[in-house]
Amino acid sequence: MFFLNGYLSDTPLDNALAGKENLQFTEIAQRHPFFGWLVNSDQDNTLQIAYRIQVATTRENILKNIGDSWDSGKIMSDQSLNVTYEGKELVPGKIYYWRVKSWNNHGYGSDFSDVACFKMASELSDYATARYPLQKEDNYPAFVKQLPGNLIFIDFGKDAFGRLKLNLPGKIRFDSLTIRLGEAQKNGRIDRNPGGTIRYSEYKLGLSLGKETYRIAIKPDKRNTGGRAIKLPGYTGEVAPFRYCEIEGYNYQLQKNQVIREMTHYPFEETDSDFLSSDTLLNRVWNLCRYTMKATSFAGIYVDGDRERIPYEADALINQLGQYSVIREYSMARYSEEYLINHGTWPTEWILQSVLLAWNDYLYTGNSDFLVRDYDDLKAKTLLPLEDGQGFISTTLGKQTPEFLVSVHLDEKLRDIVDWPHSGGRWSWKKDPGETDGFIFRDINTVVNAFHYRALIIMAQVACLLGKERDCKTFIEKAEKLEKAFNSNLLDRKKVCLR
């Protein structure tokens, strides 16, 4: 899969690279990459029992049944994901071709798959997560409505991050249009004051004589393009979320195909998942949730939407599980987890959630390389140095030493968040009561320690998986100690609820 200026191309990669145009494609930087495939069958209860992979240096070789880089032969295994390359050393910068066939439990052996190809990066390492480039997709309006006063109202049907492209004929030099983009409507018009972080923007466009294609250059937002924000690549340009568009001052009939939203998103396979029930509302909820996973992937990494465009562990945890539920693709999730290992955020519970993210990655991919590489960092993110004598952790007992902060890759001290924002906190107006539902913060907080307990349980499983028996025993003991303290001190047995 590769892209030309962000658009998916069906040209063979080797042919496209010869042109050396504005291409975007995945480069494999791992010396021993992984292969995966779908086991297709029209029979129920089908399981793969064996496979054979071929990897070749030329398309001609592989079509001649010559796997000159690797021919696995028939391997008796049900594994069809994270199958490690075990052939000759792969050459940096080179294109390779591969295909696979499989056998199932019904006695059927498939033909070889279509030939696919991949390109190695110029520098290789023992561990590197490959990612797809961001993709652009043309969206056309659901409807275009002419309003009085040379005003055209356009609805794309769904919100998306992107840019506006117009194909317009200019009949008078310097015809001037006003373009409005927004996420909310009010009384049949774009709401110009939607409030909160709902987006609205306005642009002026001068038309040239003759037919031209115009792309509206999105104005950068100071907050979500700041120092810590994830920047978008040049081939997509800056984007904004919008569903509605208004064009004011255009005196001619406008067709749907003249107005295009260039949507930006991470590659998303629509056929990977489906849902249909007898409940129309439930079907709509499903479609909304699945589309949301696609639409909010515009940065190629999990971010907090358009507010700051900064990755946060809590947002990533929700995104990760949501994405796993709708597409068979794991690279965006893993890249987000790896980013957050070294760019942790200040809420105590969220640092602990890095451990949950890593374990989910293993459960869904079956690949433990991430756990192996970042084991020490994950161990640090259990926050055991903040433990008091009972087994609880606390951020207010003076245990956040400089050495501790370095171990979790932070340049500021942790603070418990629980429900966001706090009343009278740094995020609230002076008279704003916040959203903590009356939660009273103490040195020992229940929510924080519940996440700490879960992180300890997971790290015990990780340590056991990786053969670190001493650590496994330690994490189990710490979890058992915390469980006893939790039930003794935080459980109100009269009300049967947590304090």
Predicted local distance difference test score (pLDDT) of residue 492: 76
Predicted local distance difference test score (pLDDT) of residue 81: 87
Residue 14 lies in a domain: no
Predicted local distance difference test score (pLDDT) of residue 442: 87
Is the Cβ–Cβ distance between 102 and 109 less than 8 Å?
Answer: yes
Whether 89 and 163 map to the same domain: the answer is: no
State yes or no: pLDDT of 276 exceeds 70: yes
pLDDT band at 23 (very low <50, low <70, confident <90, very high): confident
Question: CATH number for the domain including 146?
Answer: 2.60.120.260
Which pair of tokens denotes residue 325? 């539920």
Asked which of 234, 249, 265 is the last residue of a domain, the reply is: 265
Question: CATH number for the domain including 94?
Answer: 2.60.40.10
Whether 167 and 242 map to the same domain: the answer is: yes
* Backbone Cα Rg of the chain: 27
Read off the pLDDT of each residue in 307-327 and give the average, rounded to a whole number. 95
Whether 182 and 310 map to the same domain: the answer is: no
Angle CA 360–362–367, to nearest 5: 155
pLDDT band at 42 (very low <50, low <70, confident <90, very high): confident
CA-CA distance, 198 to 179, in Å (whole number)? Answer: 17
Show Cβ contacts of residue 376 under 8 Å, excluding neighbours closer than 6 positions: none
Residue 3 lies in a domain: no
Whether 486 and 370 map to the same domain: the answer is: yes
Predicted local distance difference test score (pLDDT) of residue 18: 62
Nearest to 93 by CA among 74, 118, 64: 118
> Of 42-46, 157-161, 185-189, which gets the smallest average pLDDT?
42-46
Nearest to 157 by CA among 180, 140, 145, 136: 140
Read off the pLDDT of each residue in 348-373 and give the average, rounded to a whole number. 96
CA-CA distance, 398 to 379, in Å (whole number)? Answer: 21
> Of 161-175, 262-276, 299-313, which gets the smallest average pLDDT?
161-175
Read off the pLDDT of each residue in 344-359 and give the average, rounded to a whole number. 97
Q: What's the domain range around 291? A: 270-498
Domain count, the chain: 3
pLDDT tens digits, one per residue of 84-134: 999 999 999 999 999 999 999 998 999 999 999 899 999 999 999 998 999
State yes or no: pLDDT of 16 exceeds 80: no
Asked which of 125, 158, 179 is the last residue of a domain, the reply is: 125
Supply the DSSP string of 142-202, one letter for each residue: SEEEEETTTEEEEEEEEEEEEEEEEEEEESSTTEEEEEEEES-EETTEE-S---TT--EEE
Whether 343 and 451 map to the same domain: the answer is: yes
State yes or no: pLDDT of 174 exceeds 60: no
pLDDT band at 82 (very low <50, low <70, confident <90, very high): confident
Whether 230 and 305 map to the same domain: the answer is: no
Predicted local distance difference test score (pLDDT) of residue 288: 96
Distance (Å) of CA 204 to CA 184, 266, 420: 20, 30, 38
Asked which of 231, 247, 265 is the last residue of a domain, the reply is: 265
Predicted local distance difference test score (pLDDT) of residue 270: 92
Residue 384 lies in a domain: yes
Give the up-direction half-sphere exposure of residue 453: CA atoms within 13 A in the CB hemisphere. Answer: 17
State yes or no: pLDDT of 11 exceeds 80: no
> Of 53-57, 342-346, 389-393, 490-494, which gets the smallest average pLDDT?
490-494
State yes or no: pLDDT of 230 exceeds 90: yes
Residue 194: count other Cβ atoms within 10 Å of its Cβ.
Answer: 15
pLDDT tens digits, one per residue of 436-474: 776 778 899 999 999 999 999 999 999 999 999 999 999
Whether 325 and 411 map to the same domain: the answer is: yes
Is the Cβ–Cβ distance between 486 and 390 less than 8 Å?
Answer: no
Residue 5 lies in a domain: no
Give the chain's mean pLDDT: 91
pLDDT band at 287 (very low <50, low <70, confident <90, very high): very high
Predicted local distance difference test score (pLDDT) of residue 424: 61
Share of the chain above pLDDT 90, in %: 77
Predicted local distance difference test score (pLDDT) of residue 178: 95
Residue 1 lies in a domain: no
pLDDT band at 383 (very low <50, low <70, confident <90, very high): very high
Residue 346 lies in a domain: yes
Residue 253 lies in a domain: yes
Whether 367 and 426 map to the same domain: the answer is: yes
Give the up-direction half-sphere exposure of residue 12: CA atoms within 13 A in the CB hemisphere. Answer: 12
pLDDT band at 12 (very low <50, low <70, confident <90, very high): low
Whether 288 and 332 map to the same domain: the answer is: yes
pLDDT band at 26 (very low <50, low <70, confident <90, very high): confident
Whether 424 and 294 map to the same domain: the answer is: yes
Whether 472 and 373 map to the same domain: the answer is: yes
What is the pTM for the complete model shown? Answer: 0.89
Burial class (CB in 10 A: 0-12, 13-18, 19+), 96: buried
CA-CA distance, 68 to 39, in Å (whole number)? Answer: 25
Give the up-direction half-sphere exposure of residue 51: CA atoms within 13 A in the CB hemisphere. Answer: 20
Question: CATH number for the domain including 277?
Answer: 1.50.10.10
Whether 401 and 303 map to the same domain: the answer is: yes
DSSP state of 274: -
Residue 72 lies in a domain: yes
pLDDT tens digits, one per residue of 395-444: 999 999 999 999 999 999 999 988 666 666 554 445 666 677 767 788 99
